[in-house]
Amino acid sequence: MSNKVLIVIDVQNDFCPGGALAVDDGDAVVPVINALMGEFPHVVLTQDWHPAGHSSFASSHPGKAPFDDTDMPYGPQRLWPDHCVIGSDGAAFHPDLETSRAELIIRKGFRPGIDSYSAFFENDHQTPTGLTGYLRERGLTDLTLVGLATDFCVAYSALDAVKQGFSASVLLKACRGIDLAGSMETMMGKMRDAGVEIN
Ligand code: VGL
Ligand code: ZN
């Protein structure tokens, strides 16, 4: 039991209705996650945390619009509306999210030139956030991932978790997705193929 950890991905105002990159029904996960926290001995939260002018923002690329693709030195990158700007209200956790149980809050995407969907590695798949070391050192091996968005930060985190040798399970009742150009189906397939348990 003590090796189980609930990893709550990006339950922030900008991903909830009214936010800059709102996920449909995103705030519906909040009461579900709050209740789940009582069932886990350990809780980690992640926070998408971008400097103003971040390279994942369409506004930083003249001629590009939100949800366009671009090529970055590390590979293709989807461009987003400005969101989760460091210190802004949009970057804050949803006000009803229970945060007191969190033993670690890991921030990601703070390097201006690189995005980070995964809680483990930035989008170059090489720059670590430090989460692997934290979990290993604490013997936390059994991960349950929930939050926003299912087909981006939750899925990338779950795929990296398995790659890093953790057991990873995604609880869909506590997730909501963006679903851009079939991304939900694609990422659900990738998670299944990689051995992520989906419940
Ligand atoms: C996310 C797009 C950009 C997410 C974060 O939390 O899924 N998606 N930044
Ligand atoms: Zn982001």
Nearest protein CA to atom 6 of ligand 1, as residue: 153
Q: What are phi and psi of 185, to 5 degrees?
A: -65, -45
Q: What is the pTM of this model?
A: 0.97
Please give the distance, rounded to the nearest whole angstrom, from the Cα atom of residue 143 to the centre of ligand 1.
20
Please, which residues bridge with residue 102 across strands? 43
Q: What are phi and psi of 182, to 5 degrees?
A: 75, 15
pLDDT at 42: 98
Task: Give dist(CA 84, CA 93) in Å, integer.
Answer: 10
The reply to whether 16 belongs to the active site is: no
Would the ipTM clear 0.95, i.e. be above it? yes
Task: List the one residue out of 102, 83, 103 whose CA is nearest residue 152.
Answer: 83
pLDDT at 124: 96
Percent of the chain with pLDDT over 70: 99
pLDDT, tens digit, for every residue of 35-64?
A: 999 999 999 999 999 999 999 999 999 999
Please, which residues bridge with residue 176 across strands? 148
Average pLDDT for 169-184: 97
pLDDT, tens digit, for every residue of 132-162?
A: 999 999 999 999 999 999 999 999 999 999 9
The reply to whether 173 belongs to the active site is: no
Q: How far is CA 148 from its chain centroid?
A: 6
Task: List the one residue out of 120, 133, 48 whose CA is nearest residue 86.
Answer: 48
Average pLDDT for 98-118: 98
Residues with Cβ < 8 Å from 159, sequence gap 6 or more?
118, 190, 191, 194, 196
Task: Give dist(CA 7, CA 119) in Å, integer.
Answer: 9
Residues with CB under 5 Å of ion ligand 2 are: 48
Task: List the one residue out of 116, 99, 150 whose CA is nearest residue 48.
Answer: 116
Atom of ligand 1 nearest to the CA of 12: 6
Bridge-based pairing of strands 69-72 and 75-78 is antiparallel
pLDDT at 1: 52
DSSP single-letter state for residue 170: E
Task: Give dist(CA 54, CA 65) in Å, integer.
Answer: 14
Residue 166 near ligand 1, beta carbon < 6 Å: no
pLDDT at 170 over 90: yes
Label residue 119 by pLDDT band (50, 70, 90).
very high
**149: helix, coil or strand?**
coil
Label residue 191 by pLDDT band (50, 70, 90).
very high
DSSP code per residue over 21-82: TPPTTGGGHHHHHHHHHTT-SEEEEEEE-B-TT-TTBGGGSTT--TT-EEEETTEEEE-B-S
Kindly identify the ligand whose nearest atom is closest to the C-alpha of 8: 1
User: Mean pLDDT for the chain?
Assistant: 97
pLDDT at 162: 98
